Amino acid sequence: MNVTTIPATLAQAAAVRAQLTAQMATSLPDDAVVSGDWISAPEARDGAVVYVHGGGFAHTNPEAERLVAYRLSKATGRPVLRVDYRLAPAHPYPAAMEDVLAAYRSVLDRGVPEAEVVLVGESAGGTLVLSALLELARTGGSPPGAAVAISPVTDLALESPSLSANDGKDLMNRAVLEAVRTQYLAGAEAREAPQSPLYGEPRGLPPLLIAAGSDEVLLDDARGFAETADAAGVSVRLEIYEGMPHAFHLSEVGEVLFGRVGQWLADPVREFTVSGREAGPYALAEGADGALWFTLVHQGAIGRRSPEGELSAYPVGAGPTVIVPGPDDALWFTEYQRHRIGRIGLDGRVDSFELPTAQAGPFGIAAGPDGALWFTQTNAGRVGRITVEGKVTDYPSPGAFPSAITAGPDGAMWFTLNQANAIGRITMDGDTTAYPLPTEAAAPVGITAGPDGALWFVEIGAGQIGRVTVDGTITEYPLPDRGARPHAIVTGPDGALWFTEWGGNRVGRITVDGRITSYDLPTPGSEPHGIACHGGALWCALEIGALARIEVPA
């Protein structure tokens, strides 16, 4: 889970409290456009935000809420629908949640795609947003593209530790929350979802940004739901604003929060926790079942993330490293530490095949044009071939430390020679060739077939991307950050080459004519390694126990 702490000075925190306690009223700017409950800043274009206000489920202040809606519109560039839901105690649970769902459906009925809709709620409205998401998941409804919950109540049993730890620091307290709970639930169970989101099943929810002040009594309500959703494989960003009390979003600090909401929505990168930080996701591949399969190199397991986000793990031998789809609908992987080749079926059944050369150190693996799998043996300086029945043949490598391998457009296999500083080629009958690189100590690692009929590779030592044609002509493209240590590379669905920057904490992109861009990963030091196409996006493995999804730009 990506957790960010937003600092504040003592003076800023005091100013926020003074502003909130004075209940300052601010009018809408003259350029705001209000059409019913639709509110738009001038720059608002496509998509929609469904905004759910706070007020303890029982109160509304339309003028103040319209101002919040305007600020959201300005920050996100989308028109905002303020939901005027029914209020407790006259209309207790589930009336307000039903109104939020009805408002969401009305936006879809206007023709706005689900992926372009964002649900945003604050305080009780944050609770209603999370409740609505859980109800959509339970009933099989289509979720929005993303959701934001600011200072939500997620445990109406009122058992969060911060209720006591932050008592006296906040403008909110337990007594107020007890009254809110009584009016809203009107006898409904406090330890059940969706009314108490913390008790729900968050698997399959859309990306979430959850924010709270460090001095809020509801801090652990926000943190607890974020951790539960993160453990269920949901992409979650938790932001904690230092020294801030409940309702801080109504102050000037809210401009910082709304600005960060806009940045988060525009960020093409999302992270998904798939294991403990020590497990080490290393490489990944899309299976024939539409799931994403990945190696957990330090856990000795293969992981699977279903299209719905459900996670599974299957124990295998020590050190599973690179994984690829095979010609038999299974996934094949190298067992670097056990010096074997592994196979896992879509049903989770695992087979393992011994290699003829001891201590071979298999690393790269790829399906060949001959219906077999070809792999490198880094320690032995050999290239191997294994049939789907498990028969192994190997050949001498034309250089030291053969690493990643891929099928070329010429019917041969191409591979990097990390310590020989060259690119290797092997035909189906075992003839090999080496093409030296122009840059000394380039240390090539990842390699892939490009969309232009050439092979593209990364130079982890030189901070460059390389291209080699089938006749051996090599071109090199220096990265803006020569210390980026690029590691793996793949052809993306957009016809560009995408690569991980292990040292730069980024994912890079290079077009076939050499134009380079990059995307920062949200979590510092995330150690990106493998990269693969999946579901129309790029995914990379982060050794901090997560996978990152990168939306391919139009």
Residues contributing to the annotated binding site for Mg(2+): 527, 543
Helix (H, G, I), strand (E, B) or coil at 295: strand
The DSSP string of 102-119 is: HHHHHHHHTT--GGGEEE
Q: In this structure, what token pair is assigned to residue 97?
A: 């949640």
- In angstroms, rounded to a whole number, what is the distance separating the alpha carbons of residues 519 and 448? 20
- In angstroms, rounded to a whole number, what is the distance separating the alpha carbons of residues 139 and 432? 58
339 belongs to the catalytic site: no
Residues comprising the binding site for substrate? 487
Find out whether 145 and 189 touch, Cβ atoms under 8 Å. no
- In angstroms, rounded to a whole number, what is the distance separating the alpha carbons of residues 434 and 398? 6
How, if at all, do strands 413-417 and 402-407 pair? antiparallel
- In angstroms, rounded to a whole number, what is the distance separating the alpha carbons of residues 110 and 513? 41
At CA 172, angle to CA 166 and CA 176, rounded to 5?
120
Residues comprising the binding site? 487, 527, 543
Which residues, in sequence order, are CB contacts of 271 under 8 Å at separation 6+?
1, 2, 235, 521, 522, 523, 526, 542, 546, 547, 548, 549
- In angstroms, rounded to a whole number, what is the distance separating the alpha carbons of residues 371 and 369? 6
Helix and strand counts by DSSP (H, E) for the chain: 8, 37
Helix (H, G, I), strand (E, B) or coil at 132: helix
Q: Which DSSP symbol is given to 199?
A: G
- In angstroms, rounded to a whole number, what is the distance separating the alpha carbons of residues 342 and 169? 56
Q: Give the number of residues written for the chain.
A: 554
- Strands laid side by side in the 292-296 sheet: 281-286, 292-296, 301-305, 311-315
- In angstroms, rounded to a whole number, what is the distance separating the alpha carbons of residues 400 and 273? 36
Q: Which residues pair with 384 in a beta bridge?
A: 375, 394
Residues designated as active site? 529
